[in-house]
Amino acid sequence: MKKTILLITFLCFSLMLYGAGVVVKDKMITLKCTGISYMGSGITVDDAKAFAVNDAKRSALEQVGTYLESHMELSNNMVTKDEIVTYTAGVLKAEILKAENKVIEGTFAIEVTINATIDMDYLNDRLAKIKDDTELRKMLEEQKRLNDKLTKEINQLKTTKQESVPEKSKNIAKSLEAADYFEIGFKAQENGLYEEALKNYKKAIDLNPKIAQIYNNRGLVHYFMKDYAKAESNFDKAIELDPKLCMSYNNKAIIYYERRLYEQAIKYFNMVIELDPKLEQPYYNRGFAYYKLNQMDLCIKDLKTYQNMAKNKYGDESRVAKFIKDNEKYVTPAPATPQSDLISVPNLYNNSQEEAKKKIKQAGLVLGLIKSVTDEDKAFNRVIGQSLKKGEKVKKGAVIDITVNVEASGW
């Protein structure tokens, strides 16, 4: 797990200056930052301005991250600068002070100056929630990855073929605007203003209908409003767009649990755990789904795993320990399987889907789910994940899921 985030306490609240102009006064951080974007080759002035604002925001977050890392006390664990930047991004407000056209090294550019502000009370509240809210933490990390991706695409425009620059530039600018509406919608969601959140999420989706997180959050709003059908359809859309977005599988599982469809819930909790086995909450949730099905051995196993991972992070260690103690007597020990009846799991990595199917059948295993993901750093149309480890000894007929790397469909 990532380190626990705890409340920030400033050493003092009097006026302080740091580095290039970070000012802290009355629980507010303010600083001025500039961002630059180059124009031409199909990049319009409006698009360049949006790119320059994004550049200025990133500069502000870097400076604030450096400042906070050096000027805060934490009652327990320290956090890294990268974590600070990730969890502060949605709290930063930017006001454009001026935008100027310039010529830099013979190239037309636009330079934007922003006034960036961060409300420390709001940031403290955000960090307090992250401590106990895996969903929020994962969402903010996904937002950071999205912005990093868009920034990388902005930088790549210089080497893009001229005929395709205008369309790519416009799409990136729309995505940045969509991210802004997403943040506005999320703040409304946090405050229980669900209709306002839905309105802003719709604006974000209209600008870019391919950001999975927005559908996930819109699904959560519908869930809070007790509209489970719309919630599930949004989670499904999020999964379709990003098969690795584990929070959507988790949210879908919870809907099934509340509808008392425990087997379906377990299926989706399994997916969450496979995507991110370091998350402790899915083990807790899956454990009680097994309890509802009277599968006490699996229930206790999951709760012990949760207990070992979470320790007393959520203040429930004694309660979980008592539940385990009270119910362990109902666990039936599984008979030992003779070593001669076990088979070895084959290595399926870097195999094509068809090759993997043949190996699974030859080994005496059963193919389960085939999940498709997109990872540009790995070879396409190859297996990049398997639910049973290679060389593991399992019973004949055991089910194995595989993950196949496929090319993204693009815009």
Distance CA 63, CA 21 (A): 9
pLDDT: which is higher, 15 or 291 = 291
54, 56, 57, 58 alpha-carbon torsion, rounded to 10°:
90
Instruction: Indicate the burial class of 121 (C-beta count within 10 angstroms; 0-12, 13-18, 19 or more).
Output: exposed
- Using CA atoms, how far residue 198 sits from 194, 195, 204, 205, in Å, is 6, 5, 10, 10
Look at the chain and count its residues: 411
pLDDT of residue 409: 55
Topology, domain 339-405: Trypsin Inhibitor V; Chain A (3.30.10)
Q: Give the confidence band of 72 by pLDDT, cuts at 50, 70, 90.
A: low
β-strands 9-10, 72-73 pairing: antiparallel
Asked whether the beta carbons of 279 and 305 are under 8 A apart, the reply is: no
Share of the chain above pLDDT 70, in %: 89
pLDDT at residue 242 tops 80: yes
Least confident piece of the model among 28-37, 63-72, 213-222: 63-72
Asked whether the beta carbons of 402 and 385 are under 8 A apart, the reply is: yes
Least confident piece of the model among 165-174, 219-228, 229-238, 344-353: 165-174
Alpha helices in 89-164 (DSSP H): 120-132, 134-156
Distance CA 64, CA 117 (A): 10
Query: pLDDT tens across 276-322, in order?
Result: 888 888 999 999 999 999 999 999 999 999 998 888 777 788 899 99
pLDDT: which is higher, 233 or 75 = 233
Maximum average pLDDT range among 9-13, 120-124, 245-249: 245-249
Number of Cβ within 10 Å of residue 50's Cβ equals: 23
Give the three-state DSSP class for 36. strand
DSSP-assigned letter for residue 37: E
pLDDT at residue 90 tops 80: no
Share of the chain above pLDDT 90, in %: 36
Q: Give the confidence band of 77 by pLDDT, cuts at 50, 70, 90.
A: very low
What average pLDDT does the segment 15-39 reach?
73
CATH of region 1-132 = 3.10.129
pLDDT of residue 269: 94
Distance CA 404, CA 176 (A): 30
Distance CA 146, CA 143 (A): 5
Q: Which one, of 40, 43, 45, 18, lies nearest residue 29 by Cα?
A: 18
Q: Which one, of 87, 56, 67, lies nearest residue 22 by Cα?
A: 67
What average pLDDT does the segment 208-217 reach?
94
pLDDT at residue 359 tops 90: yes
pLDDT of residue 285: 94
What average pLDDT does the segment 204-210 reach?
95
DSSP-assigned letter for residue 89: G
Mean residue pLDDT across the chain: 83
What average pLDDT does the segment 383-388 reach?
90
Query: pLDDT tens across 92-127, in order?
Result: 888 888 888 887 777 788 888 988 888 888 887 877
Q: Say whether 339-405 and 1-132 share the same fold.
A: no
pLDDT at residue 241 tops 80: yes
pLDDT of residue 78: 45
pLDDT at residue 13 tops 70: no
Residues 6+ apart with CB under 8 A from 152: none
pLDDT at residue 17 tops 70: no
Total-model pTM: 0.69
> Given the structure tokens 């043949």, which residue do they identify?
358
pLDDT at residue 12 tops 50: no
Distance CA 316, CA 337 (A): 35
Q: Where are the domains of the chain?
A: 1-132, 135-153+165-242, 265-334, 339-405
> Given the structure tokens 């087997």, which residue do they identify?
263
Topology, domain 265-334: 1.25.40
Least confident piece of the model among 56-70, 164-178, 315-329: 56-70
- Using CA atoms, how far residue 76 sits from 73, 123, 292, 313, in Å, is 9, 18, 37, 12
pLDDT at residue 85 tops 90: no
CATH class (in words) of the domain with range 135-153+165-242: mainly alpha
